[in-house]
Homo-oligomer: A and B are copies of this chain.
Amino acid sequence: MTNATTFHSEQGHDSDVQLWTRMTSCCTVIENELRTRLRNEFGTTLPHFEMMAQLAGAPEGLKMSELSRRMRVTNGNITGITDQLEKEGLVERSKLATDRRTSVIKLTINGRQAFSRMSKAHEQWLHDIFSRSPQQKRSSLYKNLGVIKSMLKAQLHNKPA
């Protein structure tokens, strides 16, 4: 992710730019922090972690095209991430009898254990970051982001927001 701008305009939409600046700035800082910690403490990356998180929430496994849709990256990249995680023994491919084109990806036992450790830390990091903000403000933030999210969903393509 990249950063903020401080430019001032003449169109009267300054507040939109400022909102975006603040959003992306907060996200960049947090994401950099998470990325660094995942690398230093677990030797992994954000996309690898996120694929595992998707799979942890789907014990029956996910098709690669579904992972592609959810993670908003193209098929080729899912192949690459899957290859690496499979080599590490964290996920496994299996074939569907009903459609031999399709691969279903699941966490292995090892993958599930590894993800469990990582996600505990990840959750704690986020708690450390957010818990200094009053619960009421966090809740309001969550709700208002939900409004943005549903607008984006309606507005831009058919990607999940």
User: Chain A interface mostly helix, strand, loop or mixed?
Assistant: helix
Is the CB–CB distance between B133 and A148 below 8 Å? yes
- How many chain A residues touch the partner (CB < 8 A)? 74
Question: Measured between alpha carbons, how far is A7 from B120 in the docked complex, in Å?
Answer: 11
A residues 137-161 touching B (CB-CB < 8 Å): 137-142, 144-149, 151-152, 155-156, 159-161
User: A36 to chain B: closest CB distance in Å?
Assistant: 10
Q: Which residues of A pack against B, CB within 8 Å?
A: 1-9, 11, 13-20, 22-33, 46-47, 49-50, 53-54, 56-57, 70-72, 115, 119-120, 122-124, 126-127, 129-134, 137-142, 144-149, 151-152, 155-156, 159-161
